[in-house]
């Protein structure tokens, strides 16, 4: 299944093709080489002072199913229902402090988001899909995987190959089949002054 974005202006096909499915093929593994390519894409994201505040913990079900299960257990039940089929789970964390001076880094979350998007676009280019989730217990994950308090828990991500939606619940099927929507450009982007639509 593909759900390309219907855009108001031409954009690169990789960006248009990126979406967040919930139907994952539980029988199709993501190789270690593929995982490293995804992380390499994240590594080259821009960051304030080049500080690279992101830290990702990766769980590959085919490599360590027990650790992967511990990660799945940190996800809320509604997301577990579909994420349990994703062969790879990722915890995305942001350093609250700059590495070069240990002062607060208020851009850490912003930069970490850029790294996550880079990973997602790379995944699309490789025929993989990702789905980022806010629905997880960050403190449970912190305790289970020894994440220092200095790091903010940003998101969990499922990575794998898209599957047929027939395995989803009726509610999730309906969401999968619903058209993709975004607000019009003019509601989000302004020309020279606040609330003056760019188009």
Whole-angstrom distance, CA of residue 119 vs CA of residue 159? 10
Q: What is the pLDDT of residue 164?
A: 92
Whole-angstrom distance, CA of residue 159 vs CA of residue 134? 15
- The average pLDDT across 111-130 equals 98
Whole-angstrom distance, CA of residue 150 vs CA of residue 127? 35
Answer yes or no: is pLDDT of 1 > 80: no
- The average pLDDT across 147-165 equals 97
User: pLDDT of 121-144, one tens digit each?
Assistant: 999 999 999 999 999 999 999 999
């Amino acid at each position: 299944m593909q759900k390309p974005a219907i855009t108001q202006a031409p954009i690169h096909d990789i960006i248009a093709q990126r979406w967040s499915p919930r139907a994952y093929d539980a029988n199709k593994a993501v190789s270690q080489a593929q995982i490293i390519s995804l992380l390499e894409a994240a590594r080259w994201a821009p960051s304030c002072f080049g500080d690279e505040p992101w830290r990702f913990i990766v769980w590959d079900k085919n490599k360590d199913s027990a650790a992967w299960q511990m990660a799945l257990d940190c996800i809320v039940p509604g997301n577990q229902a579909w994420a349990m089929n994703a062969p790879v789970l990722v915890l995305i964390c942001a350093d609250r402090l700059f590495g070069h001076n240990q002062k607060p880094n208020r851009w850490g979350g912003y930069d970490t988001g850029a790294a996550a998007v880079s990973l997602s676009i790379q995944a699309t280019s490789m025929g993989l899909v990702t789905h980022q989730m806010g629905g997880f217990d960050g403190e449970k994950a912190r305790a289970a995987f020894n994440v220092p308090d200095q790091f903010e828990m940003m998101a969990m991500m499922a990575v794998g190959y898209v599957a047929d939606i027939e395995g989803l619940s009726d509610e999730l099927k309906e969401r999968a089949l619903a058209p993709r929507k975004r607000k019009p450009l003019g509601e989000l982007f302004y020309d020279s002054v606040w609330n003056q639509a760019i188009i």
